[in-house]
Amino acid sequence: MSDKEAEFREFVGAQMESLRGLAYLTCGDWQVAEDAVLAALARLYVKWNRVDKPDAYARTAVVRAAIDETRRPWWRREQSHSHAALPEEVAPDPIPHADDRVQLRQALSRLPVKQRAVLVLRFLEGQSVQQTAAALRCPEGTVKVYTARGLDALRRVLGVRLGIDEQTGGRHEATV
């Protein structure tokens, strides 16, 4: 095994879980996330000798692959059948103050994939508007619009789930 191949294996071992999590937050499905990570790593392996910043390349490739996976016709068909009976509003969680990460994942899963990708890159990965635009190959204005719309949608979803009063921003007890 060459030094470069050993380097790549070490990189994959160290980054696999975080890349899988990033892909999941982008697409909302563990199986699709796994496929996206593997596709991104396959592309990275071919370019391994030429990539200066493998972390950044891998993260960008994973987000793009997760978005591409959700665009496939079978994905749209499966999603339309599996989510057809979902209610418009989510009932408040019966367990008060449940794990915020689970609620955030659920809220992100309700956003369109591009908005979700922008929010993940901007706020969970800490990328700037410019970096996010470059990663998603779209104008900076689009990133700004998706950020605003995505945050508004998250506020609405999380406000309902967490029982947050949109007027005051404070928590209140849900009445049953």
Q: Domain ranges in the chain?
A: 1-86, 87-176
Record the pTM. 0.53
Residues 6+ apart with CB under 8 A from 90: 106, 157, 160, 161
Residue-wise pLDDT for 43-92, tens only, equals 899 889 899 899 989 998 998 888 887 666 554 444 444 444 444 454 44
- Stronger pLDDT, 165 or 71, i.e. the higher one: 71
User: Which of 69, 1, 17, 9 lies closest to 44, judged by CA?
Assistant: 9
Q: Are 43 and 4 in contact (CB under 8 A)?
A: no
Provide the residue type at 49 as one letter. Answer: N
pLDDT value, residue 29: 82
- Structure confidence at residue 3 as a pLDDT band (50, 70, 90): confident
Cα separation, 37 vs 43, whole angstroms: 10
Class of domain 87-176: mainly alpha
The model's confidence at residue 94, banded by pLDDT at 50, 70 and 90, is very low
pLDDT score of 98 more than 90: no
CA distance linking residue 118 with residue 97, whole number of Å: 27
Query: How many CB atoms neighbour CB 23 within 10 A?
Result: 29
